[in-house]
A and B are shown apart, each in its own frame.
Chain A
């Protein structure tokens, strides 16, 4: 019991010291630059997704989704990703920040596009 208390008394200050202070880490965000919300896209053309991400303290990388299905993994925080040809109709393209275990942390942006 004494040994356990000793370990806890060492671990607690260490964990506090390693915890970032509020505001120390930048807020996470996702910005989709292209395609724009409501854009009309050609179903025969490849669509270029242009994005910028700040993963924040909990995020690690981002996933790309089309209509809720994961289609890509992006490890660059800023850049572009070419989506495979999209089927005609209304489509939702999302970029979500995920943690190292690939769990979305709740920071995301989605755009709705019309594919013709």
Chain B
């Protein structure tokens, strides 16, 4: 087994769990009334941070082993841009939910969680295009 494959695989593990955290937290927040909603928001924010960090790590592993970043087709580059936008939006929203969610109106809080879920779903969809159209 090549060490670079191991590095890519470990990065993928983190990326996958980050994806589970961002979508799972949002769905959980929408379906289950919880006593401390800030914790769910913090978990989702941590998921987005993992997504961003592991996404950058993919590039880092490539750069470490080959001195360059992956070659991306236009479709894949567009998918990556979508993922980055989703991650930025998702992180801002979940940080806001963690900090101010408790004082928001229930409808506003719910709309924010729907937006987080939509951003997570969009990021996951874009990931498939990034994987297979690169």
Question: A residues near B, CB below 8 A?
Answer: 15, 18-19, 57-58, 63, 70-71, 73, 96, 98-106
Cβ-defined contact, B68 with A15, below 8 A: no
Cβ-defined contact, A18 with B1, below 8 A: yes
Number of B interface residues at 8 Å Cβ cutoff, please give it. 22
Query: Mostly helix, strand, loop or mixed at chain B's interface?
Result: helix
Cβ-defined contact, A98 with B71, below 8 A: yes
Cβ-defined contact, B1 with A70, below 8 A: no
What residue of chain B has the Cβ atom nearest to residue A100's Cβ?
B8
Question: Known: A101-B8, A101-B62, A103-B62. Is A73-B73 also a contact (CB below 8 A)?
Answer: yes
What A residues does B69 contact at CB under 8 A?
Answer: 103
What A residues does B118 contact at CB under 8 A?
Answer: none
Question: Known: A70-B72, A70-B73. Is A102-B1 also a contact (CB below 8 A)?
Answer: no
Cβ-defined contact, B2 with A57, below 8 A: yes
Residue-by-residue, is B1-12 near A (CB-CB < 8 Å gives 1, otherwise 0)?
A: 111111010000
What B residues does A99 contact at CB under 8 A?
Answer: 4, 66
Residue-by-residue, is B90-134 near A (CB-CB < 8 Å gives 1, otherwise 0)?
A: 000000000000000000000000000000000000000000011
Q: Is B48 an interface residue (CB 8 A)?
A: no
Which 6 pairs, one residue from A and one from B, show the smallest C-beta to C-beta distance? A18-B1, A102-B70, A102-B134, A103-B62, A103-B70, A103-B66
What A residues does B5 contact at CB under 8 A?
Answer: 100
Q: How far is the CA of A15 from the CA of B70 in the complex (A)?
A: 26
Q: Is B61 an interface residue (CB 8 A)?
A: yes
What A residues does B72 contact at CB under 8 A?
Answer: 70, 102
What B residues does A104 contact at CB under 8 A?
Answer: 66, 68, 71
11 A-B pairs, CB-CB below 8 angstroms?
A58-B2, A63-B71, A71-B73, A73-B73, A100-B8, A101-B62, A102-B70, A102-B72, A103-B62, A103-B65, A105-B66
What residue of chain A has the Cβ atom nearest to residue B65's Cβ?
A103
What residue of chain A has the Cβ atom nearest to residue B5's Cβ?
A100
Cβ-defined contact, A102 with B66, below 8 A: no
Q: How far is the CA of A99 from the CA of B68 in the complex (A)?
A: 12
What residue of chain B has the Cβ atom nearest to residue A104's Cβ?
B71
Q: How far is the CA of A63 from the CA of B72 in the complex (A)?
A: 10
Question: Known: A98-B71, A103-B66. Is A73-B61 also a contact (CB below 8 A)?
Answer: no
Q: How far is the CA of A96 from the CA of B73 in the complex (A)?
A: 13
